[in-house]
Amino acid sequence: MDKTRACVSWCRQVLTVVVFVSVPAFVVAQTSAQASQSSSTPPRSRGQGEPTKADLLRGAYGPYRANNDLLFYHLDIRIDPEKKLISGKNTIRFKMLKDDTRIQLDLNDALKVDKVLLGSAPLHYERDSGAVFVDFPETLRSDHIYTIDFYYSGSPVQTGRFGGFTFGTDASGHPWIYTACEGIGASIWWPNKDQWRDEVENMQISVSIPDNLVDVSNGRFMGKTALGDGYTRWDWFVHYPINNYDVSVNIGNYQHFSDRLGDLDMDFYALPEDMEKAKKQFTQAKGMIEAYEHYFGEYPFKKDGYKLIEVPYSGMEHQSAVTYGNHFANGYLERDWTGVGISTRFDFIIIHESGHEWFGNSITAADSSDMWIHEGWTTYLESLYVEYMYGKDNAIKYLNGYKSKVKNERPIITARGVDGEPPPDQYFKGVLFINTLRSIVDDDIRWWKLLHDFYQHFKYQNIMTEDVLQYFNQQAGMNLTPIFDQYLRHTAIPILELKFDDSDGTVSYRWKADEPMFKMPVRVGRKDNWQILHATPDWQTMRTTLKKDDFEVATDLYYVNVIKE
């Protein structure tokens, strides 16, 4: 479903190709099995050097994508663990938005297109750098709905930050097959319109696997059917719009247990040897959902339920089917993640990856350039969980622990329309920026309402930073544009310059920032008696009884640098 029509501002942006960034795998560590890469199809550059044709074909919302609006997918595949083969089809239903004879879909070159059918008529197609252009013998008419069946087969390459598609085995020798393809893209293993802007309205997922295995995919489990040839088909139905990269299969020797939170079904899947640990650790999911519902409102995918599924990599936000590999221990991979003694109180992966149900899955960025809408916000949700459970002081302490991870080497928002990923600052600087916004609003009752209403306003939509900014400007009744731009579109954070004249008993102050109109209130003085300084880029002077060394700036509340002279 194209959820971005309300957004008028971002699509008019001129596409600029700027610097690309390297993509460290820091939130989801690669297992050694995932690290290998096939030689048959080299991974896309994804941020290194000049964009390739593939980067542009996949990253841009080109004319053969923009001419249609996705409605429905039925991914119906058979997975053979022994031969490491996928075969099957994706039935794709879409509405044309203008008259045309061609649409763009995507499928990694390592996989074979067997045929593309409109009804029973085979369609001509052309493959180019991961894109599959499908041609129709007659013009497709605007406002008309069409359905095609895209048949494919082959062995997907194991590549990208999360492995893409992995044929693995568990410690007891059972097949363990899983997907995690954010970044590299869902077309690494199935044919689809592989971009972020347009989502289907709902989706059916049918996965046929050997009888002794279990598949857990997204959505509501609809049942399984023995096919009589040693295979069983597992059917799942997703009742909501879903990102391509969220669509997942998790196939293994899973056992299952369930719980309920009010009328929300919660289902948990783990290997038999890990069941006891899972039953203990996964109890944290309830408190997580209660915390996020407190701030934002109802869990977004209630008809599909909430699922948590053990996998061998650290975790991924697959919609309504969050994957988990955090060793059944608190912290992140048994570390104190923000280094201030708080993240050891909870399971980072349950809290972070599930937070994406609200930001990432329900509210989705329409272009990966604006991925801070997923990661900056979800990192902020971590601190909200801390605040809900342990109070504001601990939340502020927790999120300030992220300062040590910020690099400030390039802006959080990257080039639009190019396949690539913003730098990790989108998480760390993102959360510190949102905390700064809270201090600017400086009224927690208003802040909580603003957050709640912001989520409710944009839920199930694909949005850009301009939409976030416009909402906050309107609802907060402030001009936050220079502040958003400074933190998101520039490398450096603002510097508060202070010049003391002790003999005169004054301090002069101003902001030094890239944005010429940068203005932001900031708390200064003494912790027990802050006063708010309305600093601007121009020097102003005020009286103070405090000497230079005693004059503090509330840098836990505002992410700024301070220079005192």
- CA of residue 206 relative to chain centroid, distance: 25
| Span interacting with Zn ion, options 213-221, 242-250, 266-274, 369-377, rule CB under 5 A | 369-377
Cβ closest to Zn ion, residue 166 vs residue 378: 378
| Span interacting with Zn ion, options 90-98, 177-185, 368-376, 489-497, rule CB under 5 A | 368-376
Cβ closest to Zn ion, residue 332 vs residue 500: 332
Please choose, from the candidates 305, 335, 337, the residue with its C-alpha nearest in 3D space to the C-alpha of residue 321.
305
Write out the binding residues for Zn ion, residues 218-277 only, by CB under 5 A: none
Q: Which residues, 6+ apart, have CB-to-CB distance to 480 below 8 Å? A: 437, 440, 469, 472, 473
CB of 371 to Zn ion, least distance (A): 9
CB of 300 to Zn ion, least distance (A): 16
Cβ closest to Zn ion, residue 90 vs residue 343: 343
Contact present, 199 and 210 (Cβ < 8 Å):
no
Cβ closest to Zn ion, residue 215 vs residue 353: 353
Cβ closest to Zn ion, residue 380 vs residue 454: 380
CB of 34 to Zn ion, least distance (A): 17
Under DSSP, is residue 65 helix (H, G, I), strand (E, B) or coil? helix
Under DSSP, is residue 254 helix (H, G, I), strand (E, B) or coil? coil
Please choose, from the candidates 87, 74, 86, 151, the residue with its C-alpha nearest in 3D space to the C-alpha of residue 115.
151
| Span interacting with Zn ion, options 52-60, 249-257, 258-266, 372-380, rule CB under 5 A | 372-380
CB of 162 to Zn ion, least distance (A): 11
Positive or negative: CA dihedral 137, 140, 146, 147: positive
Cβ closest to Zn ion, residue 352 vs residue 438: 352
CB of 374 to Zn ion, least distance (A): 6
Cβ closest to Zn ion, residue 61 vs residue 245: 245
CB of 282 to Zn ion, least distance (A): 19
- CA of residue 506 relative to chain centroid, distance: 47
Cβ closest to Zn ion, residue 267 vs residue 375: 375
| Span interacting with Zn ion, options 162-170, 255-263, 377-385, 413-421, rule CB under 5 A | 377-385
In three-state form (DSSP H/G/I as H, E/B as E, the rest C), the secondary structure along 346-359 is CEHHHHHHHHCCCE
| Span interacting with Zn ion, options 74-82, 164-172, 194-202, 376-384, rule CB under 5 A | 376-384
CB of 352 to Zn ion, least distance (A): 6
Rg of the Cα atoms in the chain: 25
Provide the mask over 444-473, with x wherever binding to Zn ion is found by CB under 5 A and - wherever it is not. ------------------------------
157 by Cβ neighbours in 10 Å (0-12 / 13-18 / 19+) ranks as: buried
Alpha-carbon distance of 324 to 317, in angstroms, equals 9
How far lies 57's CA from each of 210, 319, 464, in Å? 36, 26, 20
| Span interacting with Zn ion, options 268-276, 375-383, 473-481, 482-490, rule CB under 5 A | 375-383
Q: Vertex 96, ends 93 and 98: CA angle to 5°?
A: 170
Cβ closest to Zn ion, residue 125 vs residue 245: 245
Please choose, from the candidates 379, 382, 468, 456, the residue with its C-alpha nearest in 3D space to the C-alpha of residue 424.
379
CB of 505 to Zn ion, least distance (A): 49
The position carrying tokens 């006891």 is 276
Alpha-carbon distance of 447 to 443, in angstroms, equals 6
Please choose, from the candidates 316, 259, 334, 255, the residue with its C-alpha nearest in 3D space to the C-alpha of residue 289.
259
| Span interacting with Zn ion, options 293-301, 329-337, 342-350, 378-386, rule CB under 5 A | 378-386
CB of 47 to Zn ion, least distance (A): 17
Q: Regarding beta strands 495-501 and 561-564, do their DSSP bridges make them parallel or antiparallel, or are they unpaired? A: parallel
CB of 369 to Zn ion, least distance (A): 16
> Which tokens go with 479?
């001009």
Alpha-carbon distance of 330 to 340, in angstroms, equals 14
Cβ closest to Zn ion, residue 378 vs residue 486: 378
Residues forming the site for Zn ion (CB under 5 A)? 375, 378
